[in-house]
Structure 1
Amino acid sequence: MRTNTTAGGGSRIATVLLMVSTVLVGLMAGLFFAFDVSVMPGPARGGGRTYVTAMQNMNAVIDGNGLFGTVFVVALFAAVASAAVELRRGRRGVAVWVGAAAVLYLAVLVVTLTVNIPLNNELADAGDAARLTDFPIVDRFRGTWAATNIVRTACSTAALIALVRALVLYGRATRPR
């Protein structure tokens, strides 16, 4: 009885890793896209204090949300593990696309950790928005944060496209002959 393989020769772990990485990267791409098209423009319509309050609240919710952090990090680990499994199983085409996705998603993490999170922390350190007097901080935050979020959206979407391509190749490689 073959309990560790799928019908066409793909391992269950390979299938699960590829599916999990695709879903998690897709969730992150969707989140970044939503920020680009609705979340960031919404508070920007209000004044500086409204913007700061909204961003401080959103950042606090995201920071305190274990599910967000888990998806954010596990997406990369699942992609790296998937690429390694595919390479070991001799499916270089699949491994290359998953590896490309992992590199693109790693760029998302690097941008987040080096730009977006420090900006979030700077905005949090500004204190109560009702007492805010340093409004140039809002302009610096808004411009830089929004621009780097577009980079995160583009990279995570490109990673998702690479993973979808990997899924197609995986399906071809593992289908019964």
Structure 2
Amino acid sequence: MEMETARSVVLVAATVTTGLMAGLFHAFSIAVMPGLARTDDRTVVETMRNINVAILNGWFLLGYGGALVCDVAALVLLAVDRDAGGGLVPVVAATALYLAAVLLTARVNIPLNNELEQAGARAGAADLAAARSRFERPWVRANHVRTLLCTASLALLCLALVEQGAATG
């Protein structure tokens, strides 16, 4: 019974943290970035620079890193317990999708954030316009993709919870 409880707790934690990240990225896709698109170059650059500083906090890191840690832990717990019932296949797929979102963030969003940080140090209007031009479209596109990846990962984790419930109930 202890293993079953540990599996359930970790799977719920993976689902919640992945859901938090899907929700965060979704909010950027449907509200933050469309709202910023209606503003001037200086506002976009300064706002995103401020967001990029503010978001690096323990709560964000708990969700962002915690989702991957919990996904992997759930995968391991399901893989090592032959009596686990169902859920392994969706957790494998969910972990792969979330990892893809993390890698996309590392390869696209973070470098764009860093470039924007450097460009924002220059105050000229032409520099701000150029920085926005290089940043906005690729960042938004990558964010839409990571939103979809995280949402699909969340759905698969929900499926794993249902399969686990069916196997134990």
TM-score category by the smaller chain?
over 0.9
Supply the distance in 1 between the matched residues of 2:24 and 2:146 (Cα, whole angstroms).
10
Q: Which of the two has higher C-alpha Rg?
A: 1
Q: What CA RMSD, in Å, does the superposition of the two structures yield over aligned residues?
A: 1.5
Asked if residue 146 in structure 1 is aligned to residue 140 in structure 2, the reply is yes
Instruction: Give 3-state SS (helix, strand or coil) of 1:83's partner.
Output: helix
Match of 2:24 among 10, 28, 31: 31
Name the structure 1 match of 2:13.
Answer: 20
Asked if residue 82 in structure 1 is aligned to residue 74 in structure 2, the reply is yes
Name the structure 2 match of 1:71.
Answer: 63
The amino acid that maps onto 1:58 is I
Name the structure 2 match of 1:54.
Answer: 47
Name the structure 2 match of 1:173.
Answer: 167
> What do the CA deviations read for 1:11-52 (whole angstroms, capped 9, x no partner)?
111011100000000000000000000011111111111111
Supply the distance in 2 between the matched residues of 1:12 and 1:92 (Cα, whole angstroms).
13
> What do the CA deviations read for 1:124-162 (whole angstroms, capped 9, x no partner)?
011347434322221120000000000100000000010
Structure 1, unaligned runs of 5 or more: 6-10
Asked if residue 119 in structure 1 is aligned to residue 119 in structure 2, the reply is no
Supply the distance in 1 between the matched residues of 2:106 and 2:24 (Cα, whole angstroms).
16
Match of 2:35 among 35, 39, 42: 42
Supply the distance in 2 between the matched residues of 1:54 and 1:129 (Cα, whole angstroms).
15
Equivalent pair of 1:126/1:132 in contact (CA under 8 Å) = no
Name the structure 1 match of 2:155.
Answer: 161
Runs of 4+ in 1 over 6 A off after TM superposition: none
Supply the distance in 1 between the matched residues of 2:122 and 2:61 (Cα, whole angstroms).
26
The alpha-carbon deviation at position 92 of structure 1 amounts to: 6.4
Instruction: Give 3-state SS (helix, strand or coil) of 1:46's partner.
Output: coil
Supply the distance in 1 between the matched residues of 2:156 and 2:132 (Cα, whole angstroms).
35
Match of 1:110 among 103, 121, 128: 103
Q: TM-score, normalised by structure 1?
A: 0.89
Supply the distance in 2 between the matched residues of 1:75 and 1:92 (Cα, whole angstroms).
22
Equivalent pair of 2:19/2:150 in contact (CA under 8 Å) = yes
The structure whose residues are more often helix, as a share, is 2
Size of the aligned set, in residue pairs, is 167
Equivalent pair of 1:53/1:129 in contact (CA under 8 Å) = no
Equivalent pair of 2:52/2:113 in contact (CA under 8 Å) = yes
* Identical counterparts, % of pairs: 44
